[in-house]
Structure 1
Amino acid sequence: MKSFFRALYEVIGLPQPSSETPVYREVIFPNIGLLNIGITLALLVLFYLVINRYMRVATFSRPRHWALFLGLNALIAFVIVIAQASGQNVESHSYIYWLALLNAIYAALFFFVFSLIFRKLSVNASTTPF
């Protein structure tokens, strides 16, 4: 699993400064990857199953509502990286912000892909996002 997240997050280059590379590879990359997927799935369950299936809030099934959850997911993913980096006491560097941006992009991509699966489980939002 660590090698999967390492390959996923080292697309933008090796962690900087190089003395911090083991901390990124062993702790930060797996943590942010698993949190990213977990939070994405939780938001999808909230949007498709809780709000649009069990609560049947017909007015909250439009594409703009889906985009709101997508943006919230990306924002949470961005903040997670900064929190993980500060929690591991790594040196502040611009790499952290590039990693946070990449994680937000991955979160949006995961949200979109998993939406194609979860939308079939919803009553009101079965056609959201398209």
Structure 2
Amino acid sequence: MFQQLFTSLYQALLGTPAPSSLIPVYQKSIFPGVGLSTFFAVALGMALVYYVVLNRLMTTALFKTSHWLLFVLLTAVAAAALAYSQAHSVVTESLNSSGVALEGIEQSAYNRYVLGFLCVNALFGALFFVFWSFVVKSFSTSARTTPVRWPN
């Protein structure tokens, strides 16, 4: 289910993977793994750090909207780094196991696709952080109304 969901989301924004020989690698390994990791590990983890660790357990003064926006940005950067590292390692492993090397136009197409992939994943990371913010902000004592008062 998640494999098809994240594959559909990424391909709707990016198109099919380039070069075409890497389509199965992206569809079976990279898209579902990066999507789930971004949704649960990166976005949920950053939301829990912001709301529970920093604004409940430590009761820091990081409850303003500007602090929240900083965490959105940090989540986007972490999601982009995750996408790059996963895509690079899985594609490198796949190419090494098959004995194929990307050359010239294929390498350029691969680089453009990976750049687009990490940008899209940064966007997804930010959106997922916003989603998790509404879910976990009630656990916070000092940031219950960050970024907005609703639904509190």
Tell me if TM exceeds 0.5.
yes
Root mean square deviation of aligned Cα: 1.2
- Cα distance in 2 between the residues matched to 1:50 and 1:80: 22
Q: After the TM superposition, which residues 15-54 of structure 1 pair with which residues of structure 2 at under 5 Å, given as runs?
A: 15-37=17-39, 38-54=41-57
What secondary structure does 1:60 align onto? coil
Q: Which residue in the other structure is 1:81 paired with?
A: 83
| Cα distance, 1:54 vs structure 2 | 1.4
Deviation at 1:74, TM superposition (A): 0.1
Distance 1:5 1:113 in 2: 16
What is the identity, as a one-letter code, of the residue corresponding to 1:121? F
Give the drift of 1:53. Answer: 0.9
- SS, match of residue 123 in structure 1: coil
The one-letter code of the counterpart of 1:116 is F
Percent identity between matched residues is 34
Q: Deviations over 1:22-61 (max 9, x none)?
A: 000111111111110121101111110111011111x111
Instruction: Check conservation: 1:17, 1:93, Cα contact below 8 A.
Output: no
CA distance in 2, matches of 1:51, 1:29: 31
Q: Which has the larger radius of gyration?
A: 2
| Residue 144 (structure 2) aligns with | 126
> Structure 2: which 5+ runs fail to align?
96-106
User: What letter matches 1:46 in structure 2?
Assistant: V
AA matched with 1:61: F
- Corresponding residue pairs, total: 129
Equivalent position amino acid for 2:43 in 1: T
TM-score (norm 2): 0.81
